[in-house]
C-alpha cells in the first residue's frame, strides 16, 4: 500500500463497541521498521477534546470533512495496511 505521512485513511476503531471505523492521519514514513506492512497513525475525530489539534479547512489537500475535524495526539495506533479501508 502506498501512503504518505499526513494522509488520512479510514481504518478500524478498536475502542468502539462493535465494528466501527474512523479516520486516521498517518504519522510514520518509510523509515518505520515495519513500513512494508504497517504504519503509525493518530485518530481523527469531530469531537473537540482538551489537547486536540484542530484541522483547518485549508489543510485538506484532497477531500475534507463536513464537520470540524481534530487530531487526537493521545490516541495513537499501529495499523496494518490490510486493515486500512480507503483514503
Apex 81 CA angle, 58 and 71, nearest 5: 35
Burial class (CB in 10 A: 0-12, 13-18, 19+), 82: exposed
- The segments of the chain whose pLDDT lies below 50 read none
40 grid coordinates: 503509525
Q: What is the full DSSP assignment across 17-44?
A: SSS-EEEEEE---TTSTTTTTEEEEEEE
Task: Return all residues near 36 (Cβ < 8 A) that are at least 6 apart.
Answer: none
Query: How many CA atoms are closer than 13 Å to the CA of 56, on its beta-carbon side?
Result: 2
CA–CA distance, 20 with 52 (Å, rounded to integer): 21
Amino acid at each position: 500500500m502506498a501512503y504518505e505521512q499526513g494522509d488520512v485513511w479510514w481504518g478500524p476503531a478498536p475502542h468502539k463497541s462493535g465494528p466501527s471505523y474512523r479516520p486516521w492521519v498517518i504519522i510514520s514514513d518509510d523509515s518505520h521498521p515495519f513500513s512494508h506492512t504497517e504504519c503509525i497513525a493518530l485518530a481523527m475525530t469531530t469531537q473537540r477534546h482538551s489537547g486536540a489539534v484542530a484541522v483547518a479547512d485549508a489543510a485538506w489537500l484532497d477531500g475534507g470533512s463536513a464537520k470540524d475535524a481534530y487530531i487526537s495526539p493521545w490516541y495513537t495506533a499501529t495499523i496494518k495496511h490490510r486493515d486500512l479501508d480507503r483514503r
